[in-house]
Amino acid sequence: MSTPTARDRAAVLETIRTTGTGLIAADGAWPQQVARLLSAAGASWRESADVCADLAWTARAQGRSALLAMTAEQATQDSGDLVHDRALRHLYLVTLRYDLRCTDILEIFAALDDDQLFEAEQVTDDYTLALAGFALLGTSEAGSLRLVDPLLKLFGDHVKSVHALLHGLWLGADLPRPGREQHMLDLAHRLPEGDPIAAYRAASALRCLGRFPQALAAIDLALELLPPGDTTVHADLVRERLLITTARDLSIPSTSSNGTRS
């Protein structure tokens, strides 16, 4: 029997994505069905994170959020099936992240005892920890910036995990500056070239640093890279562009009609 190739594995995961997309519209218990598919495929934490993040976004856009189809208790259950339970946790937590519900994420972690959080394999996959990092950063928790580098050492350049931290940095408006913005730029550069959200986050960081020409270039790139039809994200990018031009214009000293600065 031949060993499955990376292409074979990608095909399996794409089939789960396609099947899961159909289940979102047809089955009220779609998260449980997707978790079963990932379990049957023996998905790794990275594969689970990639599939669940994509399906959770699709479901949310269709008004079929995972939060409407499962409970917090299901997201932290221990059924004995590691892959199944991890998938449910990924679906629930990443949907909370998309809804910017940092406090709800932190409450789930607070409900777990130390053994569950730091020793039990079913809880401490790296994507789950990245989502906890998102919530801590997003609430501007004191000292949370110090978590970024250790977390990056755990999951390296795993795209969904880097996006989670970058999202938290973007949301954490009261994090220390310019450390926040420097971390945002570092993480944006870790993401694949051509990622519109990475360019969007970089534009936001550059705006906060007062580097307006670079910020405009970054947000214009994000608008070019964004696939057509994504109206919600497009509106976010247009809003960021307006913030950049407004901040730039306000930073330019005005000149009176006689040529003197007012």
**Is residue 233 a contact partner of residue 258, using CB atoms and an 8 Å limit?**
no
Whether the predicted model's global pTM rises above the 0.95 cut = no
Q: Where are the domains of the chain?
A: 34-184, 192-249
Question: CA–CA separation, 20 vs 54, rounded Å?
Answer: 10
**Encoded tokens for 109:** 């972690």
CA dist list (Å): 72 to 89, 104, 108, 163, 183: 9, 9, 7, 23, 31
212-227 pLDDT, tens digit each: 999 999 999 999 999 9
Beta bridge partner(s), residue 79: none
Average pLDDT for 170-195: 97
**Residue 77 confidence class, pLDDT cut points 50, 70, 90:** confident
pLDDT at 117 over 60: no
Instruction: Judge whether residue 256 has pLDDT over 80.
Output: no
- Kindly indicate the confidence band of residue 110, based on its pLDDT and cuts at 50, 70 and 90: confident
Q: How many CA atoms lie within 13 A of 235 on its CB side?
A: 2
pLDDT in tens, 138-181: 999 999 999 999 999 999 999 999 999 999 999 999 999 999 99
Q: Is the Cβ–Cβ distance between 237 and 219 less than 8 Å?
A: yes
pLDDT for residue 2:
55
